[in-house]
């Protein structure tokens, strides 16, 4: 399996930019900006792999009947109320 992350988007240096009023200003980023995303990436990758594997297992079960079905656990669904005999409508 190959995992790829994009670089962190925040650049920790002053940048020249323009406001909506067309005034030139210097943009300075503040706050926590980790240069390494590896500590946060590991649980994200593990969770995504688990989701993809379960999704594929469910799809395979739906298409190929991966697991044998236990007939003792399969109850037929019976309506509580009897439906009247409806005649088809010819349009």
Q: Render 53-65 in DSSP notation, one character per residue.
A: HHHHHHHHHHHH-
pLDDT digits (tens, 9 = 90+) for 49-67: 999 999 998 888 777 776 6
Return the SS3 of 10. Answer: coil
Cα 73 from chain centroid? 31
Q: In the chain, where are the structural domains located?
A: 34-67
pLDDT digits (tens, 9 = 90+) for 77-91: 666 666 667 666 665
pTM greater than 0.75 (yes/no): no
Report which secondary-structure segment, H or E, holds 24: strand 24-27
Report which secondary-structure segment, H or E, holds 42: helix 38-64
Whole-number Å distance between alpha carbons of 42 and 17:
35
Whole-number Å distance between alpha carbons of 86 and 23:
74
């Amino acid at each position: 399996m190959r995992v790829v992350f994009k670089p962190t988007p925040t650049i920790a240096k002053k940048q020249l930019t323009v406001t909506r009023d067309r005034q030139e200003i210097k943009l300075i980023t503040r706050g926590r900006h980790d240069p390494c995303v590896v500590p946060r990436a590991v649980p994200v990758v593990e969770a995504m792999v688990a989701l993809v594997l379960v999704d594929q297992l469910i799809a395979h079960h739906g298409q190929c009947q991966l697991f044998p079905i236990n007939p003792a656990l399969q109850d037929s669904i019976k309506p509580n109320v009897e439906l009247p005999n409806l005649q088809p409508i010819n349009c």
